[in-house]
């Protein structure tokens, strides 16, 4: 038994009914490593667990890399 308190948890898997394929709950992992199902309408026996599909990695701006400065165009001569 884990003696650390459960402070935060996040869903790590969907719980689906094997016969209807309906979503019936989520499996949560807590900050202390415990896992716990959270059922919508009570526990079910005939279920399967489906991991979340990771979102495609976007190309976020890396805060560690400075953005190029936009040049001040006021010094250019008009043609």
Mean pLDDT of 65-79: 49
| Spatial separation of the C-alpha atoms in residues 67 and 33, rounded to whole Å | 38
> How do residues 31-69 score in pLDDT, each as one tens digit?
999 999 999 999 999 999 999 876 666 555 665 555 555
Give the global pTM: 0.64
Mean pLDDT of 3-17: 93
**Sign of the C-alpha dihedral computed for residues 62, 63, 64 and 67 taken in this order:** positive
């Amino acid at each position: 038994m884990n003696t650390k308190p459960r402070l935060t948890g996040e869903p790590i898997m969907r719980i689906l009914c094997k016969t209807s394929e309906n979503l019936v709950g989520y499996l949560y992992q807590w900050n202390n490593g415990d896992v716990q199902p959270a059922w919508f309408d009570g526990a079910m026996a005939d279920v399967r667990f489906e991991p979340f599909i990771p979102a495609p990695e976007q190309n976020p701006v890396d805060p560690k890399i400075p953005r190029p400065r936009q040049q001040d165009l006021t010094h250019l001569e008009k043609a």
